[in-house]
Amino acid sequence: MTGIHYLDARGPDGIRVYAIGDIHGHVDLLRDMHARIAQEIARDKSADWRIVHLGDLVDRGPDSSGAIAFLMSAVARDPRCIVLAGNHDVGFLDFLAQPDPDGLFARHGGRETALSYGVDLVMGDADSLRRSHRELAAAVPDSHQRFLRTLPRSASFGDFFFCHAGIRPGVALERQAPEDLIWIRNEFLRYPGLHPKVIVHGHTPQAEPEVLANRVNVDTGVFHSGELTALVIDGAEKRLMSVKIS
């Protein structure tokens, strides 16, 4: 199977693409990133553009509710803002549907998400879990849940394929399993060959962005690093940009 090398990959003609890594409740940095992007687009008089958010809007950070609300407004204003689902976003919905004290949401940052809706998530016993779940389910607006449920798992522009976690090597892009797109790690990260397109992803936090022949990882662990990273694709030009907590 032939593939595309990062150095040869091009974005779609006339469209600049920004791909933003995992947000994890840092709506402050998300606003800063959008402001910088808007400044660039105005400065360069870009003919057209897309902003692709690679998922994990929620958990661990201080304002998951605010991040969802911000992106809902951004998408409503302009459909060129695209938001993909991450495993934490799906885990949040799973908890709202059926609370699991050992699930992703409960064990990996869901308490911070609940606090952003004004709910203190207590799971020390079954009664506390049921009570917390009822409070959270009542506090999360239906519009937030509908927004998360409708998020796609992938997008593609030019020679680049965007998803949260990665793809299963050897499987056609259009046949990727939805769970792989938000969960896969080792089989994808360790694969040395080229893919049909360069995969732009998050999900696996790194101290620095990873730019490899077959993939680009822009998850710089915002919840502990305070840095949100994006890949910018403009024709044959590719570059990274970031915003940090000051």
* Alpha carbon distance 51, 82 (integer Å): 6
Whole-angstrom CA distances from 179 to 45, 152, 154, 162 are: 38, 12, 11, 15
What pLDDT does residue 42 have?
A: 97
DSSP labels, 205-240: --SS-EE-SSEEE----HHHH-EEEEEEEETTEEEE
User: 16-86+155-244 belongs to which CATH class?
Assistant: alpha beta
Average pLDDT per 10 consecutive residues for the chain, totaling 246 residues: 92 98 98 98 96 98 98 98 98 97 96 98 92 97 98 98 98 98 98 98 98 98 97 98 94
Question: Is residue 186 helix, strand or coil?
Answer: helix
Q: Which residues pair with 83 in a beta bridge?
A: 53
Half-sphere exposure (CA, 13 Å, Cβ side) for 29? 28
pLDDT at 1: 55
Q: How is the chain split into domains, by residue range?
A: 16-86+155-244
Question: What pLDDT score does 94 carry?
Answer: 98
